[in-house]
Structure 1
Amino acid sequence: MSSEQLNRGRRSIPGQVYVLSTTCHARQRRFLTKASADCVITQFHEMETLGHVCSLAWVVMPDHMHWMLQLKSGTLAHLARRVKSSSALALNRSSGRQGRVWQAGYFDHAVRAEESLQRQAMYILANPVRAGLACAIGEYPFAWCVWGLD
């Protein structure tokens, strides 16, 4: 599917909170170590430093990631492209590998006013528990939340 088709109907509204998710190419488990997860986490921090987002919660799972953010500037498409390309480049360099890291596209969900931001964050933080990677929220090392719920 083309980038144009993937972006059809999407809105990027400054001030809106979104949950952005994407999966590794062929569901490969590329983020198993701190060094590999840091390739993605560094990009979350970079986008915040550049003033594009305010991060609210995130988790980097072995084969995918979820990021809850408040968009400050730019578009979701640009943000997703930048995080995915920069993290893939860093991961391939650090691992001595080549090739695709991420699947094409991404999923986004605009958090509606009536939805609880903390409930959305808890869903993200509980992802490793549901996957059997942790027994409780807060045990998984590659997850973070602004509210300190982890």
Structure 2
Amino acid sequence: MDLPVRKKLPHQIPPWVEEGSFFFTTICCREKGRNQLCHDDAGQKVLSTVAYYHEHLKWHCVLFVLMPDHAHGILSFPREPGVAATIKAWKSYQKRFHGIEWQEGFFDHRLRDRFSLEEKLAYVLQNPVRKGLCARPEDWPYVYRPADRPVWLKNW
């Protein structure tokens, strides 16, 4: 008996979506439960490439949080090369230079309004607390928040 084949999610930005729209992304390591990302050596290297991508306009990052076996980002992407190509290149760099083993693909969800954006920001910041990794979101060291985020996001 043939098992059903999972459909792949389309990651391209549709033409009707406004340039600069934010996406909630989840990128998982290949081995669930193994800490590949949240130790000093790997964590700071990974976050430095998040900052590099932001500073070189490969994506616009509002928030990026590393968990031991996955990462969450609130990001916007230029239409070209787009979401999939940008994430693929970033993951490829992490594997090649830092030895991070990733699952194939990733999850993304377009945030359609400010309420959705604020809801996901809260979710991402609380993730380490919910998992018992720290007592308060501000105690978690594996976070990238650029200084140039919009004024209305400064509290995040």
TM-score range, shorter chain: 0.7 to 0.9
The residue that corresponds to 1:45 in the other structure is: 51
Q: Which of 15, 20, 40 is matched with 1:15 structurally?
A: 20
Pairing of 1:17-96 with structure 2 (within 5 A): 17-27=22-32, 28-73=34-79, 74-92=81-99
Query: 1:66-104: CA deviations, max 9, x gaps?
Result: 010122342110111011111122222xxxxxxx61000
Equivalence for 2:138: 138
- TM-score using structure 1 length: 0.81
1:7 Cα deviation after fit:
4.5
Percent identity reads: 22
Separation in structure 2 between the aligned mates of residue 125 and residue 90 of structure 1, nearest angstrom: 27
RMSD over equivalenced CA pairs, Å: 2.0
Stretches of structure 1 lacking an aligned partner (at least 5 in a row): 93-99
Q: Is the contact made by 2:22 and 2:74 (CA closer than 8 Å) also made in structure 1?
A: yes
1:12-62 deviation line (CA, Å, top 9, x unaligned): 253110011111112132113122012321221121122122110110111
SS in 1 for 2:37: coil
Q: State the alpha-carbon separation in 1 of the partners of residues 56 and 8 from structure 2.
A: 25
Taking a change above 3 Å as real, the CA distance of residues 63 and 11 of structure 1, as seen in their structure-2 partners, is same
How far apart in 2 are the matches of 1:113 and 1:34?
A: 35
DSSP-derived class of the 1:109 partner: strand
Contact 1:122 1:149 in 2 (8 A): no
Equivalent residue pairs, number: 138
Q: Partner amino acid for 2:65? A: V
* Aligned match of 1:96: none
- Rounded Cα–Cα distance in structure 2 between residues aligned with 1:18 and 1:105: 15
- Is the Cα contact below 8 Å between 1:125 and 1:144 reproduced in 2? no
- Aligned to 1:6, the other structure's residue is in SS state coil
The residue type paired with residue 48 of structure 1 is H
| Secondary structure of the corresponding residue to residue 134 of structure 1 | coil
Which 5+ residue runs of structure 2 have no aligned equivalent?
Answer: 1-6
Tell me how far 1:120 sits from its aligned partner: 1.5
Q: Determine the structure 2 residue equivalent to 1:97.
A: none
**Counterparts in 2 of 1:58 and 1:75: CA distance versus 1, 3 Å:** same
TM-score by length of 2: 0.78
- Partner of 2:31: helix, strand, or coil? helix
